Amino acid sequence: CSNIGKKNQGMNTTVYSKVQAIRDFCSFYDITWRKGISGVMSQKVPHHGKYADIRFTQEEFEEADLFIKEKWGLDSDIFRWFWIGVESCARFGALYNMKNDWTEIRTKSGGKVFLMSVIESKTDTIRGGKWTKFIARHDTQKSLELLKSRKCDSIFESTLPEYTFRLKIHKELSEIYSHLGKNDSYFQHHSSHALRHLGAHYWLSKTNYNYGIIAEVGGWHTIDELKKSYGQIPPEKILEVIE
């Protein structure tokens, strides 16, 4: 196929990353950029908003949960990776380095929540990249407790090198998505990052799309980024209001 007339998306992404680095450097030294600046320093995000509608229905989450339990079990690395990925909305690197440690708190209704910490290198200029994550599902908590009983410090038990582990997780996540009929390129090529998208809608749907709260829960430093790139309101949610 001819590439004539097509944009070089790889180059766009490279330029964006370099611009991000420059802006982060300036931010560290309290140098601000004029609002509304145009050109290469505008920091427009490649594919911004293109995948904001990626989500699971409640039924699909339940089907994924059942599939994982039947194939690998509740006390498995993929079970923890999937559900902690969804509940934390953390990126791969943050999940990979996440410690299996938490502070347990009780909600007003008597529920139990694990407060866990991750470091997101992408937002290391904000709070040093540290975010608190809220693990609220009973089965996710149980899986973590089982792992901790074996004195495992990470959220996974595998001792594979990071690259090999990444391939293993990618393969297993792809199986889950394929089982649910999610064979489009984003799920299959960005299997772990898709969890961040799923997590955004998982929490937004529980809070009637409260972007302010979920930006904090999921680790988005601006509501605008969450709304435009991850949390597009589903049509059926809009229909609930206008009907």
- Provide mean pLDDT across the span 219-229: 90
pLDDT exceeds cutoff 80 at 118: yes
In a domain, 172, yes or no: yes
Question: Would you state the pLDDT for residue 31?
Answer: 67
pLDDT at residue 8, as a whole number: 45
* 125 and 201, same domain (yes or no): yes
- Which structural domain, as residue segments, surrounds residue 192? 58-240
Please indicate, yes or no, if residue 219 is contained in any of the structural domains.
yes
24 with 135, same domain? no
Poorest-pLDDT segment among 16-30, 128-142, 149-163? 16-30
Q: In degrees rounded to 5, what are phi and psi of residue 118?
A: -135, 160
121 vs 87: which has the higher pLDDT: 87
Residue 212 scores a pLDDT above 80: yes
- Specify the 3-state DSSP secondary structure of 104: strand
Instruction: State whether 36 and 76 are in the same domain.
Output: no
The confidence band for 33, taking pLDDT boundaries of 50, 70 and 90, is low
CATH number of residue 142's parent domain: 1.10.443.10
Kindly state whether residue 1 falls inside one of the protein's structural domains: no
Question: What does the pLDDT average to over 103-124?
Answer: 93
Min mean pLDDT across 31-35, 65-69, 95-99, 131-135 is at 31-35
Is pLDDT at 234 greater than 90 in this prediction? no
Region of residue 177 (phi > 0: left; psi between -120 and 50: alpha; otherwise: beta):
alpha
- The per-residue pLDDT of the chain, averaged, comes to 86
pLDDT digits (tens, 9 = 90+) for 53-67: 899 999 999 999 999
50 pLDDT band, cuts 50/70/90, is: confident
Q: Which has more pLDDT, 185 or 174? A: 174
Question: pLDDT confidence of 121, banded at 50, 70, 90?
Answer: confident
Looking at residue 242, its pLDDT comes to: 81
Same domain, 33 and 90: no
Give how many domains the chain has, as a whole number.
Answer: 2
- The percent of residues above 70 in pLDDT, for the chain, comes to 80
- pLDDT on residue 9: 45
Residue 70 included in any domain: yes
Residue 93 has pLDDT above 80, yes or no: yes
Residues 37, 64: one domain? no
Question: Are residues 32 and 94 both part of a single domain?
Answer: no
The yes-or-no verdict on residue 123 having pLDDT over 60 is yes
- The answer to whether residues 38 and 65 belong to one domain is no
Give the least confident one: 18-32, 68-82, 96-110, 142-156.
18-32
Band of pLDDT at residue 48, cut at 50, 70 and 90: low
DSSP string covering 116-178: EEEE-GGGTTSGGGEEEEEE--HHHHHHHHHHHHTT--BS----S-HHHHHHHHHHHHHHHHH
95 and 24 assigned to the same domain: no
